[in-house]
A and B are shown apart, each in its own frame.
Chain A
């Protein structure tokens, strides 16, 4: 599998605290790579580098073979890296369509002069998109504040789908969801991969991880200590790496 995203030797400290000690990671197009690890292992810090929130002290990030400088979240997004955050991604008072197109609204000229948002196009594209992914999002929802947690995640994922993101980072997307909704979100993650995106999936629930992921990377104290095919591993093995049991044994 050709590497879509490669992270090499990523180092990051916050003041005296070293958080990442040379992280290597490789993600292929069309795969779901799970990232697991105990709290404080550095998962969030790592993905925030890929999302353009943090800048590394050392190391390199390559997208489709080319080194990239992800200076801002906007830059990362321009390059095709979308992040589905736990609960931070949506503007509550805006509609579903407005959120999907936020920051990239299609514009038409009013009276051939004044640029205005093309609401008709946003509406038709949103309707088509929601129908395509069989989301249970009510079409007429005036604002996303009335949606459930799962529906909100679906909006974020729909956004990534619509913009044909190359890399999608899903940060604990099912953390606060009901069982039914959890299945739906997992389905959407698989769908993103099926449409050719590389998905980095962060989670704590190992049963879910083994269900959704193609490969699993385990982080422990700022390093990736184990990478394995999801079909060839077990919860017990992952836990050994997550807790440092294997390192201690070595």
Chain B
């Protein structure tokens, strides 16, 4: 850049209008939140059923399970990786958990702990294969997407597993001060994840690795440890999400959460995460999940063909990523 051009660009920056400033300052999540609120208002006007206690509670329960899955998939995305296996891990977890109870006669606690442990081991394998064996995370977790779903179908013989204790569903339907327990659980998990990302060294190192893995390595950050933890958390969150699905349906389903990995990734991206790494927040993930859950709910209430729902979601992802790129280019002064 010549000296003249430098001066000009500095002047241009200084003259930024209020709107331009707003566009620079406000993160993408703000716009997505505004869109979500708009959809809520529209649905409340169009459908008499939308703004009822029953429906809102239903949305809050559904978004809880989806958001936990999205929180998990955020960690690998921040590292500029991806985890395509979270939906299958959720499905497998549900099958293992319900079989431990129904077939092996184990108590809730044992089944719970054993399933969580399985999830963590799966995540560690994903992270290790990515970092140590140098297989791209897309491939490692694509293998997981197929493999773990296959395992879930094999173990269950393709059948649903019933015979869950009554308390489990009662838990999923319970509320504390009119707020669904599932939602509170999601909020607690989300808060912990947010705290880790925003305030601890581990979180900071995830963003650093996603921004520039080589720079992170050169300042002495142990990239393999951080990577392994990120994938372990993704699988752990997927397992929790799978267990909550079992609680909600009161049975284990080998095909549960099929395709949900893509929606989880989409929610993270719509909520401001960058697939190129280094960016993304838990709050954004929640907002993205809420938007998708609302669209799904609204489409049901209005009797819109569920295939349309997929088309709308697809357009939304394309639009948000385009908008994000536009904003980035403007920030870089190229637009």
Contacts and interface: CB of A to CB of B under 8 A. Distances in A.
Contacts of A93: 207, 210-211, 277-279
Nearest to B216: A91
A145 B332 contact: yes
Contacts of A180: 3, 6
Interface string A86-110: 0011111110001000111101001
Contacts of A117: 199-201, 204
Interface in B1-26: 1-3, 6
B220 A72 contact: yes
B201 A148 contact: no
Interface stretch (A37-45, A73-81, A188-196): A73-81
B58 to A, nearest CB: 35
B9 to A, nearest CB: 9
A91 B220 contact: no
B327 to A, nearest CB: 12
Interface string B173-213: 00000000000000000000000000111001001101110
Contact of A105 (B6, B201, B215, B331): B201
A94 B241 CA distance: 31
Contacts of B207: 91, 93-94
Secondary structure of the B side of the interface?
A: helix
Contacts of A102: 204, 208, 215-216, 219, 221
Nearest to A180: B3
A179 B3 contact: yes
A103 B221 contact: yes
B208 A94 contact: yes
Interface residues of B, number: 26
Contacts of B208: 91, 94, 98, 102
A179 B1 CA distance: 9
B224 to A, nearest CB: 13
Nearest to B209: A91
Nearest to B221: A103
A74 B221 CA distance: 8
B218 interface: yes
A74 B218 CA distance: 6
Contacts of A94: 204, 207-208, 211, 278
A174 interface: no
Contacts of A85: 218
B225 interface: no
B210 A90 contact: no
A81 B178 CA distance: 59
Contact of A73 (B2, B201, B217, B277): B217
Interface string B212-242: 1011111111000000000000000000000
Given A88-B212, A110-B199, A117-B201, A83 B332 contact: no
Contacts of B214: 88
A90 B215 contact: yes
A115 interface: yes
A121 interface: no
Nearest to B218: A73
Contacts of A78: 220
A146 B332 contact: yes
Contacts of A110: 199
Contacts of A105: 201, 204
B335 to A, nearest CB: 13
A77 B218 CA distance: 9
Contacts of A72: 220
B3 A178 contact: yes
A240 to B, nearest CB: 34
Interface string A169-204: 000000000111000000000000000000000000
A116 interface: yes
Contacts of B204: 94, 98, 102, 105, 117
A91 B215 contact: yes
Contacts of A116: 199-200
Nearest 10 interchain pairs by C-beta: A74-B220, A93-B278, A103-B219, A91-B211, A93-B211, A116-B199, A91-B208, A73-B218, A91-B212, A92-B211
5 contacts: A73-B217, A74-B220, A178-B6, A179-B3, A180-B6
Given A110-B199, A178-B2, 7 more contacts: A77-B219, A77-B220, A85-B218, A88-B218, A102-B208, A102-B215, A117-B204
